[in-house]
Amino acid sequence: MTPLAAEKGKTLSSGFFALLVFVPVMAFAGLVSGREIGRIYALPWALFAAGTAFGIAYTGRVSFFRRLFFGVSALAFLVHFKFSLFSDTFEASCFTAAPFCHIAIAPSFLNYLYQQYLAFMSGGWKLWGPLTLGAAWLFITLAIGRAWCSWACFYGGIDDALCARPGKPLLKTARFSAFRDLPAALLVFMLLASLAYMLPVYCLWLCPFKLSGVFMDGDAAVRRLQYGLMAFALAALVAGPLLTKKRVFCSYLCPFAAWQAFWGRLNPFRVTLAADKCAGCLACVSSCPMSAIKCLPGGKAEILAYCNMCGQCLDACPGGGFAYTVFGHELPERLSPFGRLFSVKFFFVFSALTLGAVFSSLWAPAALHDLVKILGGTGL
Amino acid sequence: MPALFSEGFLLGLSTGFYCLSSCLPLLAPYLMAEGKTAWKFNFFIFLQFTGGRFAAYMLFALLASLAGKAGQYTLPAWLLPACLLACGLGMVVFAAFRVSSRALCLLNRDFNPFFKRLPLALGFITGINICPPFAAGFLRLLGLADILKGFAYFGGFFAATTLFIAPMLLGTPWIGRRANEIGRLTLLIAGIWYAGLGAAGLLRL
């Protein structure tokens, strides 16, 4: 095959892959947007997701394009839901209510079992009972497992985008390695404490995202402590990545990350390291934003259960030792332009990107609608 | 006497979930931190914890009966927060000595001998943690004002509530080294939480 024909084949197959992502995203986003704000707002979002897919398929670089998509999704979420907290003029629609917070599900799970308790509900999401949410969570876990935290979580996108900003870390996180299991410990504690007090302990004490004082304790001293912990969590979310180049909140504080690390084993996708290709350079350790790669005594790297398949190590490893696999197994390699799409890598990217884009259809087109309103002078 | 034992048993049976929710944050992190794959070892921890609870219940049965006899219907207000503070600090110190990192571990020596009776103390603290069903039982004993009857009543209450806690042991044979590490960090967090609650309670007096 001539280089020109190879290039053409690569472009065509990448376009085909982008189309595969575009169709479901446009269908779902169009359906949701069509009800409230107009189907036209779904188109840019579906095109953006398709563009991300094209970039990944054409260049082979997963994490660069994923991070771009993930960051924009998180920004859209912030624009639409969090800024709306400061405005009373939002129209009454399902878009004005933040979707049920998945982070709250994990530490309040025992409460769910006991009394079908919903931690924080708002707007039309009250209609989403625990069983519906449980089914949605199970589907997501089976489809992408731990990859939720790097492809779809609207909070993780903030941490992830910020940790790409600094050139070099000012603080090394290696000294905190003894606390890498802290999210799991927080999860266990919050599961038990939430059950004991019948309160959403995480939401009340640690959540940096609520940006509101309405959930605070009536006692002034307790309220000050709650604000202090909230500020600490917010610093971990914003300043942490800028100082360390790591997703500090997601790695050390988020109970849902631990929850998904545990249940994510149900999903067959894995990031696997070929031991014979590892030179022990540890480029992967420093590149992993989740601090999920550990150096073993022999100098070789080990992937921890906290890996959420962002693909950063795939791009960083000079020996190409990392790969997306299904329970450690790859599909036979095909070299033809379209045949290369039949690899675990593209099956995984398709699942994670499509699910992330479909999920963010709940707010990304609406954020665009908000911006159009602001630019058009109608304001919020 | 059997009638009073049954009465206490039924109270425990109908309200056992509340007891479970107040015992879990204390016992579960400890079991996770110190549990082993050997079921016998975990059962011994559970026995100590249960022993501590039993001792606390019997002590309360005695105090309630004596108070009832003397017509005194109050307990010192500082008792519960002080116990919570002591328990929380105990958990923090224990966890701080056991978190496995040379840089962070306060001492590399194994302090286990000093903490061998920690489950007993945790059980005792849990036992004196006054939850609504416990308060209902306590009021009944004030009215009875009889030590032996009090023992029978709280004995029944203890037996029934233990039935709710015992299933926790079923998950322990899967506890590995990683779970121990997570358990120790959980113990540290729970300890800080209980110490904070105790200190806040004392400050409010």
Q: Is position A52 within any domain? A: yes
Residue of B nearest to A196 (CA): B21
Structural tokens at position A164: 């790409």
A329 by DSSP, 3-state: which? strand
Residue with tokens 């328990």: B87
Q: Is position A203 within any domain? A: yes
Smallest Cβ–Cβ distance between B186 and the set A185, A195, A221 belongs to: A185
User: What number of CA atoms fall less than 13 Å from residue B83's CA on the CB side?
Assistant: 15
Closest-CA residue to A251 (of A306, A174, A310): A306
Residue of A nearest to B184 (CA): A185
Task: Tell me the residue type at A136.
Answer: A
Interface contact B182-A178, CB threshold 8 A:
no
Lowest-pLDDT choice from A81-85, A268-272, A315-319: A81-85
| Residue A178: count of CB within 10 angstroms of its CB | 17
* Chain A residues with a Cβ under 8 Å from any Cβ in chain B: 114, 175, 177-179, 181-182, 184-186, 188-189, 192-193, 195-196, 198, 221-222
Give the orientation angle of helix B39-70 with respect to helix B132-144, to 10 degrees. Answer: 40
Smallest Cβ–Cβ distance between B193 and the set A177, A193, A222 belongs to: A193
pLDDT tens, residue by residue, B175-184 = 778 888 888 8
Q: In this predicted structure, what is the pLDDT of residue A95?
A: 47
A28-42 average pLDDT score: 88
Closest-CA residue to B118 (of B159, B90, B95): B90
Q: In this predicted structure, what is the pLDDT of residue B68?
A: 77
Q: For the stretch A293-315, what's the b/e string if a residue is b when 16 or more beta carbons lie within 10 angstroms of its beta carbon?
A: beeeeeeebebeebbbbbbbbbb
Interface contact B189-A192, CB threshold 8 A:
no
**Does ipTM surpass 0.90 in this model?**
no
Q: Best interface-test mutation with A: which of B97, B168, B189, B197 has the largest number of A CBs within 10 A?
A: B189
Distances (CA, A) of B96 to A251, B35, B126: 21, 17, 22
pLDDT tens, residue by residue, B54-88 = 888 888 888 888 887 777 666 677 877 887 888 78
Per the CB < 8 A criterion, the answer to whether A169 and A244 are in contact is yes
Sign of the dihedral through C-alpha A113, B161, B9, B142 = negative
- Sequence-separated (6 or more) residues with CB below 8 Å from residue A209: A82, A101, A155
Measured distance CA(A129)–CA(A136) in Å, rounded: 11
Compute and round to an integer the Cα radius of gyration of chain B: 18
Q: In this predicted structure, what is the pLDDT of residue A85?
A: 62
A106 by DSSP, 3-state: which? coil
Q: Best interface-test mutation with B: which of A111, A177, A189, A252 has the largest number of B CBs within 10 A?
A: A189
Distance from CA of B24 to the nearest CA of A (A): 6
Which residues in chain A touch residue B193, judged by CB atoms under 8 angstroms apart?
Answer: 189, 193
Beta strand A293-295 pairing with A301-303: antiparallel
Which residues in chain B touch residue A177, judged by CB atoms under 8 angstroms apart?
Answer: 101
Strands (E), A42-106: none
What does the angle CA A249 – CA A297 – CA A166 come to, to the nearest 5 degrees?
A: 35
Q: Is position A380 within any domain? A: no
Which domain covers residue A45, as residue numbers? Answer: 3-375
Task: Name beta bridge partners: B109.
Answer: none
Residue A9: its H or E element: helix A3-36
Strands (E), chain A: 269-273, 293-295, 301-303, 322-326
pTM to 2 decimals? 0.84
Structural tokens at position A353: 């990107």
Interface contact B185-A175, CB threshold 8 A:
no
Smallest Cβ–Cβ distance between B182 and the set A177, A184, A222 belongs to: A184
Residue of A nearest to B203 (CA): A221
Interface contact B189-A185, CB threshold 8 A:
yes
Measured distance CA(A78)–CA(A82) in Å, rounded: 5
Smallest Cβ–Cβ distance between A188 and the set B29, B103, B178 belongs to: B29
Partner A contacted by B185 (CB < 8 A): yes
Q: For the stretch B40-60, what's the b/e string if a residue is b when 16 or more beta carbons lie within 10 angstroms of its beta carbon?
A: eebeebbebbbbbbbebbbeb
Q: Is position A53 within any domain? A: yes
pLDDT tens, residue by residue, B82-117 = 878 887 887 888 777 765 444 444 444 455 555 556
Q: Best interface-test mutation with B: which of A190, A192, A204, A294 has the largest number of B CBs within 10 A?
A: A192
Give the orientation angle of helix B79-98 with respect to helix B118-128, to 10 degrees. Answer: 150
B156 vs A178, more confident: B156
Residue percentage of chain A with pLDDT more than 70: 88
Which residues in chain B touch residue A221, judged by CB atoms under 8 angstroms apart?
Answer: 200
- Sequence-separated (6 or more) residues with CB below 8 Å from residue B82: B198, B202
Question: Per-residue DSSP letters for A273-294?
Answer: E-GGG--S--HHHHH-TT--EE
pLDDT higher than threshold 60 for residue A242: yes
Q: Is position A51 within any domain? A: yes
B99 vs A166, more confident: A166
Which residues in chain B touch residue A181, judged by CB atoms under 8 angstroms apart?
Answer: 178, 181-182, 185
| Residue A274: count of CB within 10 angstroms of its CB | 14
Q: In this predicted structure, what is the pLDDT of residue A41?
A: 92
How many CB pairs lie under 8 A apart between chains A and B? Answer: 55
Smallest Cβ–Cβ distance between B99 and the set A178, A188, A221 belongs to: A178
Structural tokens at position A133: 């949410």
Q: Best interface-test mutation with B: which of A187, A188, A204 has the largest number of B CBs within 10 A?
A: A188
Partner A contacted by B24 (CB < 8 A): yes
Measured distance CA(B52)–CA(A15) in Å, rounded: 68
Partner A contacted by B106 (CB < 8 A): no
Q: Is position A158 within any domain? A: yes
Residue with tokens 């958990």: B91
What does the angle CA B135 – CA B141 – CA B146 come to, to the nearest 5 degrees?
A: 160
Give the orientation angle of helix B147-165 with respect to helix B2-34, to 10 degrees. Answer: 40
Structural domains counted in chain A: 1
Interface contact A188-B178, CB threshold 8 A:
no
pLDDT tens, residue by residue, A91-142 = 434 444 445 678 888 888 887 777 655 544 444 555 556 666 778 888 999 9
| Residue A317: count of CB within 10 angstroms of its CB | 21
- Sequence-separated (6 or more) residues with CB below 8 Å from residue B58: B151, B154, B155
Q: Is position A212 within any domain? A: yes
Task: Name beta bridge partners: A146.
Answer: none
Which residues in chain A touch residue B100, judged by CB atoms under 8 angstroms apart?
Answer: 178
Interface contact B25-A192, CB threshold 8 A:
yes
Structural tokens at position A284: 């992967």
Phi, psi of A351 (to 5 degrees): -60, -50
Closest-CA residue to A187 (of A105, A112, A308): A105
Per the CB < 8 A criterion, the answer to whether B106 and B45 are in contact is no
Interface contact A178-B101, CB threshold 8 A:
yes
